[in-house]
Structure 1
Amino acid sequence: MNSLTRIGTVSRINIKEATVDVVYSDSDDMVSSDLQILKEHDMPKLDDMVLVVYLTNDPSSGFVIGTLRSEVLT
């Protein structure tokens, strides 16, 4: 992983644990491990674009800080 801040797409939601898996299309569709959602934000939906921050280069140390409007990135 080259960046501590990433943009990806939600591929799986675990409502009970309040986590999501995120696919990174810029990294050969690499899929994250379960990422927690910041408490202040609503749970993202499948296929939502999200901003993910990692605390270290460890792919299990990240969390989703929010969803992005897709028109912002085009």
Structure 2
Amino acid sequence: MLAKLTSKNQITLPKAVVSAVDAAEYFDVVVENGRIVLTPVRVQRAQAVRDKLQQFGITEQDVEDARRWVMSSPT
């Protein structure tokens, strides 16, 4: 099948290709041996938040401490 790359670096995937894999809104994109490989992924929003917090070095204890601070502050 053929897909065209637009001037905005966008490609529309053929319906037959998308139908052949699990439904996904996001794809992991890698280059392997000169080929672009798309792998469907399911992003779990809660996990995405955990990953971002970890990226910033924020621990579960930091979040709990912040929650307690907010709950103890006068309104």
Give me the TM-score of the superposition, normalised by structure 1: 0.31
Bigger fraction of residues in strand:
1
Bigger fraction of residues in helix:
2
Give me the TM-score of the superposition, normalised by structure 2: 0.30
Using CA pairs under 8 Å that are at least 6 residues apart, name the structure with larger relative contact order, 1 or 2.
1
Question: Which structure: larger Rg?
Answer: 2
